[in-house]
Amino acid sequence: MSENHGGSPIHLGVLDNWHQVSEAVALAEEADRLGYHRYWLTEHPPQPNPQMLAALIAGVTERIRVGTAGILLNFHTPLQAAQQFLLLEHVYPGRIDAGFCAGSTRDPLACALLDGRPDPRIVPETFAERADALIGFLRGSLPADHPYASLDAWPGSQDVPEIWSFGTGPRSAAIAARHGTAFGYSLFHDPTSDDTTTVNVYRDNFQPSPHLAQPLVGLAVAGVCAETEREARRLVSQYENKFILPTVIGSPRQCHEQFAALAERYQTPELVFLDVSPDFDSRLRSYRLLAVELGLCESEASASDTVTDRDFHMACTD
């Protein structure tokens, strides 16, 4: 755990835009050992359901919170999604983050996933209805006049995961505020701007729930951390995804300072970092460097702009 310039703790997590199962598992295991707070999986069809991979990852890790950031709810039935999250929380109590968002995908894949249901790009109000249903199923709190009020996602279950509504605009912020869930705000989805307006909408309209008494904001940022700023910029120059904007770039100390500035500006300790280095070894190295810099490892070693392998192993081995 690190602290920002105001002295508040920074809880840094890993956001994994995964492509290879073996790499996702290896990164999650390392993040758990390094002391990261959360490990979140994205969903980008045609990748398989990230909830299945989350189950595997929760099983091979010990402490770290595991979740999704988030499932594309337009392509999942709320009941089935709730059942999967509830099962995860039952098996790994206190470690599961149930995250969902309103993302879409390209045709004809979207048509296959929708399987005859209304296209959310044409009927956008269906997302709010699906979010209401998912949260209601997870909490067992569907209103009496809801068409599925008589259904229990898991009869008798008392396990409720931490619920996160993810987005980049006021619609997702309003859903999170109305239901009293956590809100995840992405700073790397184009055309998102580094603007606190959406987060303020969430905070100003937050209604406490039995599961969350105070607003909880998480920031998702992308970038590259390397031994030096020059190396970080070399690595980020190889990144070609036009939909993801890397903004946190530099040495471990420079990245730490940028995290701290964001935490202070948005008044939240919760950040997750998507490293966009072009190869897995560089990504793994990035998270190791940040773990030492932010003091996530139980170590007396001081962090600097360059950390040797010897420094890392001395700092982070059990």
Which CATH architecture is the domain 2-316 placed in?
A: Alpha-Beta Barrel (3.20)
User: Which is it for strands 96-101 and 65-68: parallel, antiparallel or unpaired?
Assistant: parallel
State the Cα–Cα distance between residues 19 and 51, nearest whole angstrom: 14
Percent of the chain past pLDDT 90, that is, above it, reads: 72
Q: 97-132: per-residue pLDDT in tens?
A: 999 998 766 565 655 555 656 665 555 568 899 999
Band of the pLDDT at 49, cuts 50, 70, 90?
confident
**Which of the 8 DSSP states describes residue 212?**
B
pTM to 2 decimal places: 0.88
SS3 state of residue 29: helix
Measured CA angle at 122 (ends 116, 124), to 5 deg: 100
Give the per-residue pLDDT at 243. Answer: 80
Band of the pLDDT at 306, cuts 50, 70, 90?
very low
- The count of C-alpha atoms lying within 13 angstroms of the C-alpha of 288, restricted to the half-sphere facing its C-beta, is 23
Find tokens 């999170």 and name the residue: 176
Percent of the chain past pLDDT 70, that is, above it, reads: 82
Give the per-residue pLDDT at 105. Answer: 60
Phi and psi angles of residue 107, each rounded to the nearest 5 degrees, phi first: -75, 150
Contact predicate 270/217, CB 8 Å? yes
State the Cα–Cα distance between residues 205 and 101, nearest whole angstrom: 19
State the Cα–Cα distance between residues 141 and 120, nearest whole angstrom: 25
pLDDT at 232 over 60: yes
Give the per-residue pLDDT at 122. Answer: 53
State the Cα–Cα distance between residues 64 and 210, nearest whole angstrom: 24
Structure tokens at 213: 């008494």
Q: Strand locations in the chain, DSSP E?
A: 2-3, 9-16, 38-41, 65-68, 71-72, 96-101, 162-167, 182-186, 217-225, 248-250, 270-275
**Which of the 8 DSSP states describes residue 15?**
E
Q: 29-46: per-residue pLDDT in tens?
A: 999 999 999 999 999 766
Give me the mean pLDDT over the 194-214 stretch: 96
Contacts of 289 (CB under 8 A, 6+ apart): 225, 226, 227, 252, 307, 312
Residue 126 or 160, more confident = 160
Band of the pLDDT at 47, cuts 50, 70, 90?
confident
pLDDT at 302 over 80: no
Give me the mean pLDDT over the 257-286 stretch: 97
Lowest-confidence pick of 129-133, 151-155, 296-300: 296-300
pLDDT at 301 over 80: no
Give me the mean pLDDT over the 255-281 stretch: 97
Distances in Å between the Cα of 78 and the Cα atoms of 62, 97, 129, 248 are: 28, 16, 10, 34
Distances in Å between the Cα of 19 and the Cα atoms of 16, 74, 103, 156 are: 9, 21, 18, 36
Most confident of 49-53, 163-167, 293-297: 163-167
Give the per-residue pLDDT at 45. Answer: 67
